[in-house]
Structure 1
Amino acid sequence: MQFALALGEGFIPEGRQFLGKQLPKTRRPKKLLTNADIEQLYLDLLAMPEDQLEQFEWTDDYIDLLREKLLHEACHVLLDKRAAVATRRDRWGWIMSESVGPFSFMVCAYFAGVRGDELREALVHLCRREKVIDQLQHVA
């Protein structure tokens, strides 16, 4: 998702003062990982038996990778017209949510090094341009 990465890297969102107070600046993996590395971690976690998952050692780097994967996947699915409308609406709801939690949109964007508000605005613009915004906004 070059679009998401082009919006900026390594800053605290100005309009989100609470993020800067609750979260450390940024933790990036020591080794620069590719999208394939992130994808592989995600797939390994999905395939892992439950008893091994409980023993899995979650490092800050792994959590950051999972956040970045969630953000990339949501942006990708949102604009993929082949994806089910219900799935796209689910991602839209997550992106538009103002909630703040360990895996909320704003927190995932922050740890991916992008401005969450600007990414959200750009996604709204792209959805309007692709004429899919009406489908997404009909969330019950």
Structure 2
Amino acid sequence: MRRALARFNELQLCLDLLFFEELLDASSEEASRIQWTDEEISLLRQRMLQYALHALASTKTCNSTRDEWIEWVEDDHLTPFCFTVCAQESGCDPEALRVRVQRLVR
């Protein structure tokens, strides 16, 4: 059951990200009509963190993908979808979680 739920969350994140890419490709007129709620942005941040943690914990993740996620976790720059913001949005202490992730990937 947990695997099915994790897979569902992974697929949902992919769909969310694909939808986000479509928004970026849309004309400025179309993009200006689309409104993201704070709840939707929060959910996307939470799912992004979940997806990253799952990818880092999985033995099936390829090295290049793993390296990209590690770089994302270790990056201190504040952006709307950075590790720190996603962790805070998920109710986690970013620094404590970062230490745990670094232990996990060693």
TM tier, shorter chain?
0.7 to 0.9
| Percent pairwise identity | 32
**Cα offset, 1:91, TM superposition:** 0.2
Q: Give the number of the structure whose residues are more often helix, by fraction.
A: 2
Match status 1:99 vs 2:99: no
User: Among residues 13, 18, 21, which one is paired with 1:46 in the alignment?
Assistant: 18
Closer, same or farther: CA 89–63 of 1 in aligned 2, 3 Å: same
Residue 59 of structure 1: aligned partner: 37
Structure 2: distance between partners of 1:103 and 1:77: 17
Q: CA deviation at 1:101?
A: 1.0
Q: Any idea what the Cα deviations from partners look like across 1:73-126, whole Å, max 9, x if unmatched?
A: 111111212111000000000001111111110011011110011111111222
Matches within 5 A, 1:1-140: 40=12, 43=15, 46=18, 50-51=25-26, 54=31, 55-127=33-105, 133=106
Give the length in aligned residue pairs.
95
Unaligned runs of 5+ in 1: 1-33, 128-132, 134-140
The separation in 1 between residues aligned to 2:9 and 2:47, in whole angstroms, is 10
* More relative contact order, 1 or 2 (CA 8 Å, 6+ apart): 1
Q: CA RMSD of the aligned region, Å?
A: 2.8
